[in-house]
Structure 1
Amino acid sequence: MTATPSAERSRPAQRQAEIAEYVVSHGSVSATDLADQFGVSLMTIHRDLDELERQGVVRKHRGGVSAQPSSVFESNVSYRLQATLPEKRALARQARTLIEPGMAVMLDDSTSTLELARLLDGITPLTVVTNFLETVKLLAGRPGIRLLTLGGEYHPTHDSFLGVPCIEAVEALRVDVLFASTSAISGGYAYHQEQEIVLVKRAMMRAAQRSVLMVDHTKLGRVALHRLAPLREFELVLTDGQADRQSLAEMREHGVRYEVVA
């Protein structure tokens, strides 16, 4: 089998993210199959699987590996930071065009909006509000950016602040636009697997004059435990060029405004 671009010399973190996606899509695979698929040694695969198991993304068993339940791996920030990066960067480039100097912008604790945060230099002055520690560390001290951090209970799995104190902090603010993501959209609704995150995202939507949802193609046609909001409550849904036709048709049927980003 032809090796993927993630060969032995590739960065381990990126290869591990691709391995995780492969295991998730196939359910259960053998270590030998993974070694063939990714063009690396069996020893390297076992090291990668050990790390992914440590992160709670996969579960090793005799002769192979299987995916943890979606609520586990989809919430893990280490996994999310590596998953579908090219698509997230494309969404971020388009989202950046919606921001003007002088705005107050809220970014949720998604890795999609983290990619947008990387592009904010040059759109100043700008006020940025977030509960994501990765975004806080990225933007702290940036010239022209007034950074407001949302407190609350720190959750290491998400690397963000959640809970009642975070919601109360959100409710005290009013921003021009919210950029957010979620883990699943289907049937005209956005879903997420964790109740605490849903409650914070809903508060953020109420605090924003406009809300933009950034979801790569892997989120389409899926559901999670909790319904976040109707997609029509977002002014715009951004997705990438690999979005399937059925999901796009479904959004049109529900009157959802969306853009497909190349």
Structure 2
Amino acid sequence: MEGKSFKCKVCDQALTQTSKLVSHRCVHTGEKPFQCEVCNKSFSVQSNFRRHQRIHTGERPYICEVCDRAFTQLSSLQVHQTIHTGDKPFKCEFCDKAFATSTRFLEHQSTHTGEKPFRCEVCGKSFSRSSHFRVHQRIHTGEKPFKCEVCKKPFSRSSNLHEHQRLHTGVKAFKCEVCNKEFTQLSGLVKHRHIHTGERKTFTCDLCNKNFEQLWGMLDHRRIHTAGKTSEVSD
């Protein structure tokens, strides 16, 4: 006997539980009842909300049985497991390169086609990878979901958080190949290299032509121009 199903009146999708039907309706109404208390980001689906919370808590409930590496999402574990199995079912028709996931496969194909399907509604910039698009959006929203447990400083990228944490641990992972001086942050090494090369790379704001020594400085500055546009879009 088949289990009872609950059908959405808008799109006729059948759900196995009334709670899932209620959550599904938010897709059509645009309602986002689940709000993160840390960064105020809202979600229409509770499962997505719980998955997001692990960014802040650091919880990694999905563990690889082979190497014990832990992940925040089941999908991430499944992708990781292909490292051990070697399974790569998605093959590129242009160069025969194979991939373990459809996401990586589609992103790779854009290198041949030049397609950039992920477009920012605020500034119009397009991206070939969804991950790069999500990180870019934080320039406009100001969202910083990665917080340092020691000093509570927030960051928009996990890589920036990891680099910052070395200030507390004292680990100097970046060494100058010329004089062997060590640095806790990559930005410190890059700036130091100017002593040897005499060069000084700058990052220019494309809206006002102001120059910055570091990329993050330019990106932070750019919010001055985009803040107004962001509020217009969200209204």
TM-score normalised by the chain length of structure 1: 0.22
Higher strand share: 1
Q: Name which structure has the greater RCO, CA cutoff 8 Å, separation 6+.
A: 1
TM-score normalised by the chain length of structure 2: 0.24
Higher gyration radius (CA): 2
